[in-house]
Amino acid sequence: MPPIVLVLNGPNLNLLGTREPATYGHETLADISALCGRTAEELGLAVEFRQTNQESELIDWIHGARGRCAGIVINPAAWTHTSVAIRDALVASEVPVIEVHLSNVHARETFRHHSFVSSIAIGVMCGFGSHGYRLALEHFSQRLKG
């Protein structure tokens, strides 16, 4: 059974493709899911790819990763900048976390410069578009090989 990496996406990311394309590009969430699926196959990982607009649902998925998943790749979207609850859930899961953002949040509004997740993540990918998800999966693959 290949190691499972949970790829989680927060609010409004279901609108990718039509949502502010100048900032987030033209790829849809289905495109990113397909990219993660192909990458996982190449690397010998099993990916579970999910998106929600409900914070409690995201927290339940994080709880479900404990003792089951080898890694979490998370784009918490707007909750990055607001949610202590998501940070606490990630810490409680005891699963290594990589934070991903499509855009370079540090080159945007100042309210996007602070993340509740970054300081508990093993790394952050931001500004590389969907490639950031691939880079995160590659890192987990390397890390799992020791």
Residues contributing to the site for ligand DQA (CB under 6 A): 12, 75, 77-78, 80, 101-103, 105, 112
Q: How far is the CB of 75 from ligand DQA (least distance, A)?
A: 5
Residue (34 or 118) nearer to ligand DQA, CB = 118
Residue (68 or 131) nearer to ligand DQA, CB = 131
Distance CA 88, CA 72 (A): 14
Identity of the amino acid at 95: V
Tell whether the torsion through CA atoms of 118, 121, 122 and 125 is positive or negative. Answer: negative
Residue (42 or 57) nearer to ligand DQA, CB = 57
101 is catalytic: yes
63, 101, 113, 114: which is the annotated catalytic residue?
A: 101
Q: Angle, nearest 10°, between helix axes 131-145 and 29-43? A: 20
Q: How far is the CB of 80 from ligand DQA (least distance, A)?
A: 6
Give counts: helices (H), strands (E), the chain: 5, 5
- Which residues does the annotation mark as catalytic? 24, 101
